[in-house]
Amino acid sequence: MTSEDGSGRRAPPDAATLRAGLADALARVPHAERDVPPGGRVGAILVLMVDGDDGPEVVLTRRRLDMRSHPGQISFPGGRVDDGDDDVVAAALREAWEETALDADSVTVLGRGRTFYLPPSRFWVSPVVAWWDDPHDLVANPAEVDEVLRVPLVQLLDRARWRAVPLSAGGATWAWQLDDDLLWGATAIVLALLLGEALPGWHGGTDPTDLPGDRHVRPWEDAPSWTPRTRLPHLPGRDVEHVPAVGRRGLSKLLTALGADGVRGVVDRAADHVTGVVLHLLDDPAGSAVTVLVGPAGTGRIGLGVARRLLDAHVDVTVRLAAARDDVDLPRELVVAPPAPGARADLDRRSAYVELEVPEMDRPAGDLVVDALLGPGADPPLRDGPASLAAWAARHDLPVVAVALPSGVSADTGLTGPSLHADVTVALGLPTLGLLAPIVAPYAGEVVVADVGIPHEAWEPVGVMPPADLFADGPLVRLDRGEVSSDAGTPDQGPAA
């Protein structure tokens, strides 16, 4: 346990006590929570502790500002597990050598922490905790790292440095102000978890949401921007500033005015265009496999139409249902039943651990996933069957094509809890307001707008008028957004006050 010193700070334990506490806590982590999914993109990070002048310290790095992933953030050394690595531990030590010139023989590995999922990077990250027995000079690799830092544990226990990062579905995660740097995101989540396991009661019962308003921060708003990768360069582009967006209520009004026949036409055209995008992304459609995630409502109808069209193109198709439907006119052996009622899919970013029970089937995940789970009419956050299938998708390092918007994104407000991460999003008629929210950009990927046969005059009662020439150059238009928010931090970042 820690104790209060005269300044009101909690004094950290000595190095021997902390080392023993970490080793004991890591030994209690269930093996199932350390495992990484065999089809996922796996990263290893090294949580390196050392006995410093002011007590125990943790070794961190500041990433370069021009990095595409988490630019400028305070991070642990780490990176992707390569085929040449014996295991996650070997990968963490190799990455630490490459980033900081850490000698692996100078450390003792204490154990592995809980594996967690980090969208939109789509990495399953496995923390390796080690003690630095024989400290030596570290050298920042200029290709990735601006500076190597040694942060005293006493700073993490200093209440004056505590900050809260709001979550979009409620609550907040821990962050720390370290002089000119803010420690937040996945790095802060891992440190908070380790502190909680090795030093129970380190926060004195305080929750991040208990901090006063001036301690709540929104660091992603100032994160460096980047230009999204263009996957469909053959499509005509249109500046996003010249394409209006529509909200959930407006879409509902529009669909009501179109009537049943009009909606059927929209569904058919949408399925045609989504299928076209999928076929373009597949290197060899006849030799490829695609999984279509089908939700319970209208977007699921589009997903079923995509599945039928892909079968006609000789693609190996698997349909995974989020809920029972009576309109699935596909061969039974291609359809995976929905998750059982009560199936778990814990996507709480405050615990940073994904727990799920979803139906499996002796069929490959494939080469690409179509996200037709939730559309603009849904009310996120993800729950029940869609949450389970979103967690299933997280286990596979595959490109995703989203119908209308990535599941978990609100048509009006953007992120509302965990979301699927799409490489291409096919908006129907017009993009939704939430799809264009700045922080949604890493989750939406490249956004294309499809002509789904909505008459131009049908938009007038909605109060949104698309440009008359929006589809003059073809039925699919790529939205050019220039630089957008990077994938810094964790996904459940809170809405603006």
Q: Each residue of 376-415: pLDDT tens digit?
A: 999 888 888 898 888 888 888 899 999 999 999 999 988 8
Q: Residue 432 pairs with which residues in a beta bridge?
A: 246
Q: Residue 188 above 60 pLDDT?
A: yes
Domain annotation for the chain: domains and CATH numbers = 3-224 (3.90.79.10), 228-481 (3.40.50.10260)
Tokens 């017009």 belong to 430
Q: What are phi and psi of 448, to 5 degrees?
A: -120, 145
Q: How far is CA 101 from the centre of its chain?
A: 30
pLDDT in tens, 192-226: 988 888 888 899 899 999 999 999 998 877 777 76
CB-based contact 43:124 (threshold 8 Å): yes
Q: Residue 151 above 80 pLDDT?
A: yes
Dihedral angle, C-alpha 448, 119, 222, 165, nearest 10 °: 130
CB-based contact 2:157 (threshold 8 Å): yes
| Beta strand residue intervals within 258-302, DSSP E | 289-294
Per-residue buried b or exposed e for 130-151, using 16+ beta carbons within 10 Å of the residue's own CB: bbbeebeebebeeebbeebbbb
Written as one string, the DSSP assignment of 325-347 is -S---S-GGGEEPPPPTT--EE-
**CA–CA gap between residue 81 and residue 100 (Å, rounded):** 17
Q: What angle do CA 457, 458, 464 make, to 5 degrees?
A: 85
Q: How far is CA 303 from the centre of its chain?
A: 22
**CA–CA gap between residue 70 and residue 21 (Å, rounded):** 30
pLDDT higher for 339 or 321? Answer: 321
User: Is the torsion defined by CA of 351, 357, 362, 365 positive or negative?
Assistant: negative
pLDDT in tens, 274-295: 999 999 999 899 999 999 999 9
79, containing H or E segment: strand 78-80
Q: Which residues contact 90 (CB under 8 A, 6 or more apart)?
A: none
Q: Residue 306 above 70 pLDDT?
A: yes
Report the predicted TM-score, pTM, of the whole model to 2 decimal places: 0.87
**CA–CA gap between residue 6 and residue 103 (Å, rounded):** 38
Q: What are phi and psi of 394, to 5 degrees?
A: -65, -15
Written as one string, the DSSP assignment of 351-379 is TT--EE-----SS---SEEEEES--TT--
Q: Residue 452 above 90 pLDDT?
A: yes
Q: Residue 31 above 60 pLDDT?
A: yes
**CA–CA gap between residue 188 and residue 197 (Å, rounded):** 14
Q: Which residues contact 491 (CB under 8 A, 6 or more apart)?
A: 119, 120, 349, 415, 418, 419, 443
pLDDT in tens, 172-186: 889 999 988 999 988
Q: What angle do CA 214, 64, 145 make, to 5 degrees?
A: 115
The pLDDT value recorded for residue 2 is 45
Q: How far is CA 348 from the centre of its chain?
A: 12
